[in-house]
Structures are given as C-alpha cells and as structure tokens.
C-alpha cells in the first residue's frame, strides 16, 4: 500500500503547473479563512488550548500552548519562526487537530508571549542561538514527554527549522519524524557575502553593546505592518490579513527587526545546523518554497545533501513564498498534503 499516493499526486500535479488542487485532508480553503478566524477559531482555541509556561535558561519565562486529544497518541510539536507566536498558527492547529493529532506549540524566548530580553521589547535578540535549542529540549522533557504520546512528530518553520535541526542533531531519538518548512539554513543576504555579513554583525553588535543596549542590525528597525501588496511572504490575502489583524489585536506579540547580535547568532546557528546535519537519524522531509526571498534555498540544498532528507533533496513547491502554511491554497495544500502523508508513514 502506498501511503503517500494522495499527497504526492496532489503535489506532482501542482509542481507540473496543473490548476486543480487536490485536497484529500479537507484542509481549510481560503474562501473560509475569514469566517474561520471570526467564528470557529476563538471557540476552538478556548475549548482545547491549555496555555501555560515554564522557566527556561536564566529564568526566562517561556510560554506555550498544548491542545490534547482525549487520548494523546499521535502528537505534533510545532516550532515557529522569528517574530512569530503560536497564536499565529491557530488555522494550522485547527487543520492538524482535525486529523487526530495532539499539538504542542512554543513561543521562543525574546518573542511572542515569552519574556523579552531587552528593555526595548521590539528588538529581536537572543544571547546564544543554542538557548532556543535548550528551551525546546526542556519543553519536550518537562511538558510533552509527561503526556507520553505514543509517537511525537515535529513540524517547524523558518528559524524554527534551524532550531529543530540543531535539536535533532543532538537528540535524534526524541522525534518519530520531522518536517522542516522553509528552514533557515541560511539567510537571504541580498548578494552580500556571508563572511562579510557575519563580520559586520559581530562588529556592530560588540561596539554597539559598549555604548548601551544592543543595536539593530543594518536595515532593521521597530515593528512595521506592511500592506499585502508589499508583503513577499504569502500570496493569500485572506491569511496575510488575518495574521496582521491578530498582531493589532494582541500588540504584545509584535516584534521588530533583528539586532546585529541576533544576525550574527542566526548565521552562526544556521551554519552549525548544516555542518552537523549528518548526525540526524530522524526521518526528515524538507519543504522548500520555490520563490523564497527570506532564507537561502542553496543552504537548504547543502543541508539535505548531508541530512539524508526524504528524496535526497528538498521537496520544492514552485511559486511559493516563504510562509508555506499561510500561503494560497495551491501552495499551502501541497505543503500540508506532503507533510501529513509523510507523518502517516510513521
């Protein structure tokens, strides 16, 4: 029996340029997004989400949400990206919940609902990239493992993909199978050589730190809300507007640009994720957005060459921008069809 057939058929048709979208898992269509956010999700979240916190490294409060099925059997750990919060993933949680999965979502230190690390709370900052990884391990050990799910899967996006790769390199047996969506194995530097970007970030971060609070990196600044026409993250206006409205309703989750120190740590963490990818034993699928302008797709290719990704390379979704799980229906359904079929094999 070929468990992948429905999803791979849908993805093959999409990649070949077919207009029809196969939706075997009955995922939410764009036409229903506005109603979902206004009517269904508030009740769903109130009924099923238990929001709590633990103290991570250096006593930082790390916020999380757990949505447990009546029997916690198959569960997914969702690891979000930079500037995000688990609150942004409520549509995804709804779609995955209806497939029978329990869900665990975390807000990284310095963003979302977790403790911010600087007086200026809109500055993106982390002391060491590895702090994110240690928080994730603590979340696993102290929260998720206590529920004893029979099988735990991992679904990560962007920066969360780099964090998760570092996790899997150290604790490969914690996770049954993992899917990394648009993972930050490198940052799109717009043609600037990486060695130069790292050097500039290190220098600005060090010198700026002598003068006071860590400064923003070049071109970075406080939170800005971009119009849909200027976004470059998703082709779905309904989904893009929904998450922008969420940030206005819950302004405490807003985060601005990255500090120079974060840029250095981010590049260093991504480099380490690629360099040690061969240590990963966990079955792994990497979803690559074909037109990603945020992360470096070539670095994803290099990662898969070492990490033994499913198919030996990233599964490329043509025409997609960075936010695969908030994309227009053809791209989003292709990404989730492949994800759910991959998990079903394990």
Per-residue model confidence as pLDDT tens digits over 179-194? 999 999 999 998 899 9
For residue range 82-102, what is the model confidence (pLDDT) as tens digits? 999 999 999 999 999 999 999
Which are the contacts of 31, defined by CB distance < 8 A and separation ≥ 6? Answer: 238
Domains of the chain by range and CATH? 30-344 (3.40.50.1820)
d(CA 186, CA 189): 9
Three-state SS string over 143-171 comes to HHHHHCCCEEEEEEECHHHHHHHHHHHHC
- The predicted pLDDT at position 212 comes to 86
DSSP state of 252: G
Beta bridge partners of 102: 75
| CA dihedral over 246, 248, 250, 255, signed as positive or negative | positive
d(CA 35, CA 77): 26
pTM: 0.93
- The predicted pLDDT at position 281 comes to 97
d(CA 38, CA 44): 11
d(CA 4, CA 8): 6
221 phi/psi in degrees, rounded to 5: -170, -170
Residue ranges of the chain with per-residue pLDDT less than 50: 1-20
């Amino acid at each position: 029996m070929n468990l992948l057939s429905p999803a791979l058929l849908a993805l093959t048709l999409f990649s070949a340029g077919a207009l029809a979208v196969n939706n075997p898992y009955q995922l939410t269509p764009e036409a229903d997004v506005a109603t979902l956010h206004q009517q269904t999700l508030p009740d769903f979240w109130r009924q099923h989400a238990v929001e709590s916190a633990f103290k991570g490294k250096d006593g930082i409060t790390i916020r999380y949400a757990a949505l447990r099925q009546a029997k916690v059997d198959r569960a997914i750990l969702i690891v979000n990206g930079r500037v995000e919060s688990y609150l942004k993933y409520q549509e995804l949680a709804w779609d995955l919940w209806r497939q029978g999965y329990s869900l665990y979502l975390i807000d990284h230190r310095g963003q979302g609902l977790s403790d911010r690390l600087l007086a200026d709370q809109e500055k993106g900052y982390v002391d060491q990239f590895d702090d994110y990884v240690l928080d994730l391990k603590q979340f696993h050990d102290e929260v998720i493992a206590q529920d004893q799910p029979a099988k735990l899967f991992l679904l990560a996006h962007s920066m969360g993909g780099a964090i998760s790769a570092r996790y899997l390199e150290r604790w490969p047996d914690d996770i049954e199978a993992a899917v990394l969506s648009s993972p930050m194995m490198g940052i799109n530097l717009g043609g600037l050589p990486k060695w130069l970007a790292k050097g500039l970030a290190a220098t600005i971060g060090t010198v700026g730190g002598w003068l006071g609070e860590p400064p923003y990196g070049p071109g970075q600044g406080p939170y800005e809300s971009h119009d849909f026409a200027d976004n470059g993250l998703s082709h779905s206006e309904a989904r893009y507007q929904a998450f922008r409205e969420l940030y206005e309703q819950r302004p405490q989750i807003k985060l601005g640009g990255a500090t120079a120190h974060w840029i250095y740590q981010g590049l260093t963490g991504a480099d380490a994720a690629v360099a040690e990818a061969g240590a990963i034993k966990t079955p792994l699928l990497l979803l690559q957005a074909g037109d990603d302008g945020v992360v470096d797709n070539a670095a994803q290719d290099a990662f898969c060459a070492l990490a033994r990704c499913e198919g030996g390379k990233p599964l490329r979704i043509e025409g997609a921008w960075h936010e695969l799980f908030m994309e227009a229906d053809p791209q989003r359904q292709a990404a989730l069809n492949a994800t759910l079929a991959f998990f079903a094999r394990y």
